[in-house]
């Protein structure tokens, strides 16, 4: 690093120290002064450390990178969903909520420090090549993913249509790493799929919540509702839906509610406290509904499930959801950076926080994919919000949690069988849905309801 750059960095730090010193000396309350004094001491130590590293470290260092990593470490120590977004990561985040991009078509996460496939997206190069949920990606084009940030891995796998990328994976039950040579394609972000299971009974799967989800759902409902036989019941499948945009979750909940509370969010700032309410719809959707959830249903999908459950609009079936009950915002910073920061907890209409607890189904049905020669119960999925490092608790520090919630926290993490990636994210096929025991149970309940209605007329 040049001497000029070093002086600039030290000047920046000393300016902050001067501002804090002025604040402390301006007669503010003692507790504020004490906090500022501690911050002042911390910044002095930080400045000293930067200087010592620059002068004495065995190899030359880049102070900009040191600062970025220090900020990243600070933000990540808050909770698993807050992070500093470098310009490239900020751009990737914007792409994720838009219409399409060039890539191979997989959803990924970092699990236990390893880049892991959540699921392939139907019809994409990864899906066609046989990439499976649970596959561990250890290399991209020969480069190890061990120290990669999630956004870096995403960026390396995305690219122009027709370009080739090689990913190396390890798979449970396979002794050697496997190389997949994939040709990138345009990946449409299609979040809603629908089908008529049998006359009068519709099925809608929402894979995530992006900019077009509410419009896509409205189109799907219009198609189902205009069928020759009126809609007698609807299954809304939110299994393995990781969430997405909060406004979309609000709007989708509102499709099925005529009045009442959908959601409330509560943060430290007044501007981060808000109640969202339902509005009357032009189309009255009073048919019975069942919502399917599992351990992969998180964030926005939990908002929808919680709103419909608490308003007694839908029956929730499956297993307890992921438990991400916090709201993040992305603030634009200078030079293209962004800060993703947790600003509030959200609460279901009845006032429940699902943070680190999840939505508990009205009827628990563990997944089982029924085959003629027995039952293929899929893979174990057990990682939940409460298993993540630095996760927030259901209520802010200092507030008392109800006894029921405390007892729930003491319970051991359960392991449930979940649908395979192909079944969860593949094309909708009647024969496969009929072999899905959770879908079959939902249909049985809906048809039974119709029969009882006829008996009681």
The residues assigned a catalytic role are 299, 310, 324
Q: How many CB atoms lie within 10 A of CB 297?
A: 30
Kindly state the tokens that stand for 270.
Answer: 């007044």
Residue 228 C-alpha from the chain's centroid: 37
Which pair of tokens denotes residue 21? 């010193």
**Vertex 362 angle, CA 356 and 363, to 5°:** 110
E runs forming strands in 157-252: 164-170, 178-183, 185-188, 192-198, 201-206, 233-237
Q: In angstroms, what CA-CA distances link 197 with 193, 234, 430, 433?
A: 13, 10, 6, 8
DSSP secondary structure string for all residues of 303-334: HHHHHHHHTTSSEEEES------EEEEEEE-G
CA distances from 343 to 269, 270, 305, 328, 332 (A): 8, 11, 22, 6, 15
> CA dist 375 to 107, 281, 430, 435, Å?
27, 42, 18, 10
* DSSP assignment letter at 100: E
**Residue 272 DSSP label:** G
What is the phi-psi region of residue 323: left when phi exceeds 0, alpha when psi lies from -120 to 50, beta otherwise?
A: left
CB 409 within 8 A of CB 357: yes
Sign of the dihedral through C-alpha 386, 390, 395, 401? positive
CB 213 within 8 A of CB 192: yes
For residues 86 and 151, what is the distance between their CA atoms, to the nearest angstrom?
9
Cβ neighbour number for residue 214 with a 10 Å cutoff:
21
| Euclidean distance between CA atoms 81 and 196, whole angstroms | 37
Integer Cα distance of 251 and 323 in angstroms: 21
Locate 245 and state its tokens. Answer: 């945009």
- φ/ψ of 362, rounded to 5, equals -65, -35
């Amino acid at each position: 690093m040049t001497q000029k750059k070093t002086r600039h960095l030290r000047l920046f730090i000393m300016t902050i120290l001067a501002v804090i010193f002025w604040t402390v000396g301006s007669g503010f309350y003692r507790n504020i002064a004490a906090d500022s004094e501690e911050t002042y001491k911390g910044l002095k130590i930080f400045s000293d450390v930067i200087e010592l590293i620059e002068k004495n470290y065995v190899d030359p260092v880049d102070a900009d990178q040191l600062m970025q990593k220090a900020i990243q470490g600070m933000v990540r120590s808050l909770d698993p969903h807050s992070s500093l977004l470098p310009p490239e990561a900020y751009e990737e985040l914007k792409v994720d909520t838009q219409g399409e991009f060039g890539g191979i078509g997989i959803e990924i996460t970092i699990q236990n420090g390893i880049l892991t496939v959540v699921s392939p997206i139907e019809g994409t190069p990864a899906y066609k090549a046989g990439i499976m949920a649970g596959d561990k990606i250890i290399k991209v084009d020969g480069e190890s993913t061990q120290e990669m940030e999630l956004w870096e891995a995403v960026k390396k796998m995305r690219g122009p249509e027709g370009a080739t990328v090689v990913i190396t994976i390890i798979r449970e039950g396979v002794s050697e790493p496997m190389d997949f040579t994939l040709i990138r394609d345009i990946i449409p972000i299609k979040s809603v799929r629908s089908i008529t299971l049998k006359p009068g009974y519709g099925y809608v799967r929402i894979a995530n919540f992006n900019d077009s989800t509410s419009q896509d759902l409205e189109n799907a409902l219009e198609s189902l509702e205009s069928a020759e036989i009126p809609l007698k019941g609807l299954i809304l499948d939110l299994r393995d839906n990781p969430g997405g945009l909060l406004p979309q979750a609000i709007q989708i909940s509102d499709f099925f509610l005529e009045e009442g509370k959908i959601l409330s969010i509560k943060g430290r700032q007044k501007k981060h406290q808000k109640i969202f309410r339902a509005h009357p719809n032009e189309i009255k959707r009073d048919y019975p509904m069942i919502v399917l959830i599992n351990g992969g249903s998180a964030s926005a999908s939990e908002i929808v499930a919680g709103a419909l459950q608490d308003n007694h609009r839908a029956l929730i079936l499956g297993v307890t959801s992921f438990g991400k009950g916090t709201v993040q915002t992305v603030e634009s910073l200078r030079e293209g950076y962004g800060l993703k920061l947790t600003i509030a907890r959200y609460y279901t209409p009845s006032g429940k926080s699902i943070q680190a607890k999840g939505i508990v189904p009205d009827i628990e049905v563990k997944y089982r994919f029924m085959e003629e020669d027995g039952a293929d119960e899929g893979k174990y999925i057990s990682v939940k919000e409460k298993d993540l490092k630095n996760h927030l608790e259901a209520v802010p520090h200092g507030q008392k949690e109800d006894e029921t919630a405390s007892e729930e926290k003491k319970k051991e993490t359960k392991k449930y069988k979940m649908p395979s990636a192909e079944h969860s994210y593949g094309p909708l096929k009647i024969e496969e849905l009929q072999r899905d025991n959770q879908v079959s149970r939902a249909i049985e309940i809906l048809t039974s309801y119709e029969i009882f209605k006829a008996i009681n007329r």
